[in-house]
Structure 1
Amino acid sequence: MNLTYIIGTVTAIAIMIVGMMFSSSGGQFVVKPSQITNFFDPSSILIVVGCTLMVVVASFPSKMLKEMPKHFGIMLNTKRFNPMYYIDQLVELAQVARKNGLLALEERANAQSDPFFKQAIMLIVDANDADKVRSILNNDIECMSARHDSVAGMYERASAVAPAFGMVGTLVGLINMLKNMNLSGDGGSSSIGTDMGTALITTLYGCVLAHMIFNPIASNLRTRDEEEVLCKMIIVEGIMSIQSGENPKSLREKLLTFVDQNQRGDNAGGKKGKAPKEKKKK
């Protein structure tokens, strides 16, 4: 579970709500819970939230939009991609190949739940040229990363659009305020406060949507992409080394360079990486 995202988002919202309830009275800060209603405006919600979502719908294909729940699952799962699991698996494959040959890896390939890992093993079992194997696998990684970039781009697009519609709401509120002003007589207008409130609250909603909702989602999706790309790079390097007949011990040392020192320390102590959960494409 991605606790940092949950803690950060929930805490940020809580701090904002508490800040909305503070009021200065006689040089002292007092808490007025009733003030929270000042920041609720149906017109602002309709303009900012509704228009932002509709622009996203208009900008991206329905297939990508339908997979939004899946995107949240991927974002919240920090244990989906475990480099140490793949390193352990590749070292075991290298040991099997060294004893029984590459053809003995076919059974191991069929037992893999990761389609990319299975494909990589089968490519060397089928005795393909090393350059061809690397080209196919690298192309798979590039295409996957491009798809992931499009998904993260959808949330970044929403993040860019939300403040813009906040400004649109501000203009709507100011226009209504000016239109309703009565410059004759005492020059007052009973709707100035309401219209001015809509003008300012829409800007608030736009900033909150962009920087507290959509931006963190896009950042977390890009982080998951980097983790998956790392695991697949480890698979490519490991498979190429197995095909060339590299020693399992040397293979482990080579693959450990892909991960940080803390993870290497766990592995040196004999702690094997846990199998990641079955992946779902974005």
Structure 2
Amino acid sequence: MDLISIAGLLLGISVIIAGQLLEGGHLQSLVQPTALMIVLGGTVGAVMLQSPLHVFLRGLRMAGWVLKPPASPMREQIEQIVAWAAIARREGLLSLEDKIQNLPDPFMRKAGQLLVDGVEPQHIREVMEIDIGTWEAQQKQAAKIWEAAGGYSPTIGILGAVMGLIHVMENLSDPGKLGAGIAVAFVATIYGVGLANLVFLPMAKKLQANIARLVAAREMALDGVIAIAHGENPRIIESRLQAYLS
């Protein structure tokens, strides 16, 4: 669980509510379901319009990474690669075949299979770098739906505010409704700007950071596999890969 994400969101919402109360406002004036429906519905619709279905669904699933980032077992990978290097040095590359076939990580399994098949190190790097680049592009494309939501949300909030003001103008003959109507109109703007800057854009940045971390783990694993292909000493390989942990 990423506690700093939860703490940051709670802090951001809390100071806004506290500011409202300290200025003599009422919490109830910030609770407007209609304004929230306009902002959320309009933002989701705009993001759906710009995104292919599979990208949109992948982006929704990635939202869980904000609170529970995906594991990046770099230490375990280093131990695994060093063990492979030791076995390959003693018994040859073909001795790794049984260990590689049972790997749950498809990236490691593919890189290991190329290693066992005796593919040249340069060609292994070329193939796996394409794999890394493709995977990274797919993940970044999915994460960008939250960045897009952060761009659309304030504009949809302004649209909701204008709609509220139109409703106010229609009731000018009833002064008692003007104040409440204007307040509702501006709440839509608060929702739009608040969701963009407290939720959507920070989520996009957090997802991009997680993707970068996972890419680094794959690059580290690839460097280890290439080192094994070159027949380097396991201790030298371990020393090199440890640099990624910093």
The TM-score, its normalising length taken from structure 2, stands at 0.93
Aligned pair partner of 2:199 in 200, 213, 220 = 213
Give 2:180's aligned residue: 194
Q: Does the aligned pair in 2 maintain the 1:174–1:199 contact within 8 Å? A: yes
Give 1:280's aligned residue: none
Give 1:253's aligned residue: 239
Residue type at the aligned position of 1:241 = A
Counterparts of 1:154 and 1:78 in 2: how far apart (Å)?
18
Counterparts of 2:161 and 2:143 in 1: how far apart (Å)?
28
Deviations 1:157-215 (A, max 9, x none): 00110001111122222333334334xxxxx7232212211221111000121111212
SS of residue paired to 2:175: coil
Give 1:74's aligned residue: 65
Deviations 1:88-130 (A, max 9, x none): 1111110010000000111121231111001101101011122
Task: Choose 1 or 2 for highest CA Rg.
Answer: 1
Residue type at the aligned position of 1:15 = V
Give 1:279's aligned residue: none
Q: Does 1:120 align with 2:92?
A: no
Q: How large is the Cα RMSD of the aligned pairs?
A: 1.8
After the TM superposition, which residues 230-269 of structure 1 pair with which residues of structure 2 at under 5 Å, given as runs?
A: 230-260=216-246
Q: Does the aligned pair in 2 maintain the 1:75–1:220 contact within 8 Å? A: yes
Deviations 1:60-90 (A, max 9, x none): 2222333455313333334601322211111
Q: Percent identity?
A: 27
Counterparts of 1:253 and 1:79 in 2: how far apart (Å)?
25
Q: Does 1:19 align with 2:10?
A: no
SS of residue paired to 1:128: coil
**Change over 3 Å in CA distance of 1:172–1:79 after alignment to 2:** closer
Q: Counting helix residues as a fraction of each chain, which structure ranks higher? A: 2
Residue type at the aligned position of 1:22 = L
- The structural deviation recorded for 1:131 is 1.8
The TM-score, its normalising length taken from structure 1, stands at 0.81
SS of residue paired to 1:127: coil
After the TM superposition, which residues 1-282 of structure 1 pair with which residues of structure 2 at under 5 Å, given as runs?
A: 1-24=1-24, 35-68=26-59, 70-78=61-69, 80-182=71-173, 189-260=175-246
Q: Does the aligned pair in 1 maintain the 2:59–2:143 contact within 8 Å? A: no
Unaligned runs of at least 5 residues, structure 1 = 25-31, 183-187, 261-282
SS of residue paired to 2:63: helix
Residue type at the aligned position of 2:43 = T
Residue type at the aligned position of 1:102 = L
SS of residue paired to 1:190: helix
Q: Does the aligned pair in 2 maintain the 1:90–1:238 contact within 8 Å? A: yes
- The structural deviation recorded for 1:2 is 1.1
Residue type at the aligned position of 2:73 = N
